[in-house]
Amino acid sequence: MAASLESITMRSTDLIKKEPLDYGGFGQVYLCHHKRFGQVVLKTVYTGPLRNDAHKRMLIEEGNLMHKLKHDRIVKLLGVILEDGQCSLVMELIPKGNLLSMLETVSVPLPIKGRIIMEILEGMVYLTSQDIVHKDLKPENILVDKDFHIKIADLGLATCKGWSRLTREESRKQQSRKGAQSSARTAGTLSYMAPEHLESVNTASSEKSDVYSFAIVVWVVLTRQQPYENAQNDTHLSQCVRNGDRPDETLIPEDTPKEIITLMKDCWHRNPGQRPTFAKCRESFQPFYKERLEKYVEEACRGMDKYEGPEYFVETMKSLSLESSNLPSETPAPLRSSDSMPIEASIEDLNHSMESSLQMDAAPPTPPPPTATWS
């Protein structure tokens, strides 16, 4: 049953504690303990005053649209907070942080790289079927769960006009405060932007824009490096991409299957009309993945068991887990495993609980079994 407009509205007082995180591409992000949902992620999009009731209603309606998106490869929206000084999104916690952090920290085996590519395609095929253009697909906006599956984040802020407008207003405010740091963030997004958008600000975003961004993400997954590191500035980078430059193919490991490289190069074609759709990408890549890589994924994941996520992220989760255990008994504590680490899979059950309007018992339920790996 779909959530009503009122059911996705939360209050800031529902959040017991906030710890800052470097988690995604938009706004200020915090790890929080929600008194009903346990550990969640709070993304503060806007810190100014709300305009009027009609504006608030529009933001709630857009939040409801985001909440209705249901797919294993898409981060779930649990609720929205709309108060003067805080317009925020409350989302499920994905415990291993973003894809870029993982790629920069550990060596990722080829079978897992293949599954990452496959799952990004699955998520983007779903979004396309919902008439959604992400507009900011990059490794920072792709999150990694406890079983090394991925989920795509930040799609709502790029898609919903009301939340997008608040994002731009907040971004301008933050840029005036932070200067160079904000410029560096902008440059990161620019690396994934299709050349047609660098040529004209009037070019409308489309599925083919996201396909181009996906190709650059594939290059990063293969090389574990940032694209265009030798670019002198944004203007230099933009000019080179418009002239046909793409990330350095010589940095791609020699044992990379040609099927992945061909997919990547087809997707970063200069002419958007020559790029395949996400459905075509999945159609061409899936047989190769299933035949050549899928059977090795489970073993590869076992070899990465020691990677819990970015160190600061893991420590923050542990700290919040310990502090929330001291909350009053009438406040449900976050679900956790025997070693006091939060259970990411519990968000699924809690979200289902909200949708069916059932009340949680005071004691946390028995954690469900881990999400199965690809078979």
164 falls within a domain: no
Which residue did the predictor score with more confidence, 26 or 341? Answer: 26
Region 148-159 average pLDDT: 82
Residues 139 and 121 in one domain: yes
Q: Do residues 124 and 83 share a domain?
A: no
Residue type, 171: S
Residues 240, 345 share a domain: no
Write out pLDDT tens, residues 41-88: 998 888 888 888 888 889 898 899 899 999 999 999 999 999 888 889
pTM of the model: 0.80
- 293 with 139: CB under 8 angstroms? no
Long-range contacts made by residues 180-188, C-beta under 8 angstroms, separation at least 24?
A: 183/234, 185/25, 186/234, 187/231, 187/233, 187/234, 187/237, 188/138, 188/140, 188/226
- Quick one: what percent of the chain has pLDDT higher than 90? 53
User: Tell me, what CATH number does 252's domain have?
Assistant: 1.10.510.10
Asked if 105 and 234 sit in the same domain, the reply is yes
Residue 256, judged by CB atoms within 10 A of its CB (0-12, 13-18, 19+), counts as middle
Which of 12-21, 44-53, 234-243, 315-324 has the weakest average pLDDT? 315-324
pLDDT band (50, 70, 90) for residue 157: low
Residue 170 within a domain: no
Q: How many domains does the chain have?
A: 2
- Listed in sequence order, the residues at least 6 apart from 14 whose beta carbon sits closer than 8 Å to its beta carbon are 34, 35, 36
- pLDDT (tens digit per residue) in 289-343: 999 999 999 999 999 988 987 766 666 665 555 555 555 544 443 333 333 333 3
For residues 256-261, average pLDDT: 98
372 in any annotated domain: no
Band of the pLDDT at 6, cuts 50, 70, 90? Answer: low
Farthest-apart Cα atoms in the chain, separation:
63
pLDDT of residue 326: 54
pLDDT tens-digit map of 90-137: 999 998 989 999 999 999 999 999 999 999 999 999 999 999 999 999
Looking at the fold, whether 294 and 237 belong to one and the same domain comes out as yes
Lowest mean pLDDT of 12-21, 112-121, 212-221, 306-315, name the range.
Answer: 306-315
The CATH number of residue 317's host domain is 3.30.200.20
**Residue 151: which of 348, 361, 363, 364 has the closest Cα?**
348
What integer pLDDT is reported at residue 320 of this predicted model? 58
Domain of residue 269: give its range. 99-155+187-195+204-302
**Residue 281 in this model has a pLDDT that exceeds 50:** yes
Section 259-266 average pLDDT:
98
Domain membership flag for residue 167: no
| Range among 78-87, 197-206, 279-288 with highest mean pLDDT value | 279-288
| 51 lies in the same domain as 149 | no
351 and 254 within one domain: no
pLDDT at 312: 60
Q: Is residue 41 part of a domain?
A: yes
**Residues 245 and 128 grouped into a single domain:** yes
User: Do 30 and 61 belong together in one domain?
Assistant: yes
Q: In which element (H, E) is residue 18 found?
A: strand 15-21
Same domain flag for 228 and 292? yes
Indicate whether 33 belongs to any domain: yes
Q: Is residue 3 assigned to a domain?
A: no
Helix (H, G, I), strand (E, B) or coil at 140: helix
Q: What is the mean pLDDT of residues 142-166?
A: 85
Q: Name the domain boundary from 239, 269, 302.
A: 302
Own/partner pairs for 29-34, CB < 8 Å, 24+ apart?
A: 31/93, 31/313, 31/316, 31/317, 31/320, 32/90, 32/320, 33/320, 33/323, 33/324, 33/327, 33/334, 34/10, 34/78, 34/90
What pLDDT, on the 0 to 100 scale, is given for residue 363? 42
Q: Say yes or no: 107 and 234 in one domain.
A: yes
Q: Please give the positions annotated as active site.
A: 136
- Predicted local confidence at residue 141, as pLDDT: 93
Same domain, 36 and 55: yes
Q: Is residue 149 part of a domain?
A: yes
- Tell me: pLDDT of 156 over 80: no
- Give the whole-number percent of the chain exceeding pLDDT 70: 74
